[in-house]
Amino acid sequence: MAEQMLGRPVAEALYAEVAKRVGALREEHVHPRLALVRVGEDQANGSYERTVLKRADEVGIAVEVRALAADVNKLALYADIEGINADARTHACLMFRPLPHTLDEMTACNMIASEKDVDGVGAASLAGVFMGLPEGFAPCTAEACVRMLDFYGVELAGKHVVVVGRSLVVGKPAAMLMLARDATVTLCHSGTTGLPEIMRAADIVVCATGNARTFGAECFCAGQVVLDVGTNIDADGVFCGDVDFAAVEPVVERITPVPGGIGAVTTAVLLQHVVEAAERTR
Ligand code: NDP
């Protein structure tokens, strides 16, 4: 039976640190503030929004929700982002995605000032991750993977990490963050041939594909550490990861469950980025 790497203790440790840093900032009359931009109503974002609001409140971070109509035109969205960029009281901006197809998501992402881009969606933030420069912020879920391993004492240096999924939200930045920590990284995708064999050769496997329970016992072996980033709803309406947990958990050494794994850490990393954005303004 594998040891389950739960997200909650990792998140709680991060929240405790964030609350302390918020307290220190307040003594200097700096009040960390996040602007949350939402276009239209989306069920998945709705639950993430409620979690962010609750957790931010608990650690003393103010959140301003800027809800825009689903049919907002692109100029109004851009004006909203520019308003956030220009507002010295607001340290951070989180824009929920995907945006409606009528809007140009890449342009909107790149409009967020890099020093407020706490979700790491703009080109400057991604350049920072890829170049190892302190520009913007890393995408929260990619960083959450590294935080999870650090918390549970899993060393990255010298390890072979296989990342399955190459999006700019998770796979690519996670690969770069782990490479920066001296892991040897193999980045896989839907065109990878012999994927189970490649996965079995890893010390650490990160699954971020968005396919419910796709990776079974044939993809893993004893001694491995598995991070399951996937958040999927299966055919029966059950929330699950990319990994077939019941089949894989008896095989590997450590594994993150879904729910209860990476997701909780992602929100904590977001709020840590907000406090850091506020600290950088001092
Ligand atoms: P994308 O759809 O943007 O990317 C999926 C990636 O997985 C692509 O690179 C794709 O390859 C690859 N892929 C798809 N199917 C397979 C397969 N069968 N074998 C190998 N590779 C495959 O998704 P995201 O990166 O945005 O998200 C991935 C998952 O992580 C989703 O379940 C999402 O909900 C979850 N997620 C969870 C978060 C959290 O906080 N826990 C936050 C963000 C995402 P190709 O490039 O060739 O198409």
The pLDDT confidence band at residue 41, using thresholds 50, 70 and 90, is confident
Ligand 1: distance of its center to the CA of 229 in Å?
8
Could you tell me the sign of the dihedral formed by the alpha carbons of 232, 233, 239, 242, in that order? Answer: negative
Taking the CA of residue 171 as reference, the ligand 1 atom at the shortest distance is: 25
> What's the whole-model pTM score?
0.97
Q: Does ligand 1 lie within 6 Å of residue 193's CB atom?
A: no
Ligand 1: distance of its center to the CA of 234 in Å?
15
What confidence tens digit (pLDDT) does each residue in 118-161 have? 999 999 999 999 999 999 999 999 999 999 999 999 999 999 99
Q: How far is CA 117 from CA 2, 122, 263, in A?
A: 36, 7, 19
Ligand 1: distance of its center to the CA of 208 in Å?
4
Q: Does ligand 1 lie within 6 Å of residue 188's CB atom?
A: yes
- DSSP reduced 3-state for 62: strand
Look up residue 35 and give its two tokens.
């602007």
Pairing of β 33-39 and β 62-68 = parallel
Please tell me the residue having the least CA distance from ligand 1 atom 5.
Answer: 209
Residue 206 has pLDDT above 80, yes or no: yes
Residue 193 identity = T
Q: Does ligand 1 lie within 6 Å of residue 68's CB atom?
A: no
Ligand 1: distance of its center to the CA of 240 in Å?
14
Ligand 1: distance of its center to the CA of 65 in Å?
27
Res 44: pLDDT = 75
